[in-house]
Amino acid sequence: MKRDKFLQRLFSAFPDGKPGLGLLFLRLCISVPLFYWGISDLSANADAMTLGRDGVAAAGGILLVAGLWTPVAGIVITLVEVWTAFAHRFALQGHLLVAALGICLAMLGPGAWSVDARLFGRKVFEMRDRDGR
């Protein structure tokens, strides 16, 4: 119960409709480059640090696609992408864009079409009297 209260505080709302679709699209747009960069480094001769960094980013991308632990995944992705952008100086604009989108998603939340909404979303209870009104 205590964990649920903490995680509910991380989310402002779980919008559906067009805002929810926008958040789903944002989650997908962040995940595609993370998967691409993670898979491309697996096929190259990369060192352990690069594989670890890209593994964390790809795992964050998987969490974002599912919409699970979205604020935590967004912050971790932001930190990894900023570190990648400034430490290695390749694809600087792409990594900084993904980092900016990650922090935006961490602040906005996952939307209604996510695992977080199913696990930690607000529940509506209808109270009825004995007559069913």
Percent of the chain with pLDDT over 90: 32
pLDDT at 19 over 70: yes
pLDDT tens-digit series, residues 68-122: 999 899 999 999 999 888 887 777 888 899 999 999 999 888 888 898 888 877 6
Q: What is the Cα–Cα distance from 7 to 119, expressed in whole angstroms?
A: 10
Query: Given this model, what pLDDT does residue 9 score?
Result: 59
Length of the chain counted residue by residue: 133
pLDDT at 2 over 70: no
Q: What is the Cα–Cα distance from 110 to 107, expressed in whole angstroms?
A: 9
| Global pTM value | 0.77
pLDDT at 8 over 60: no
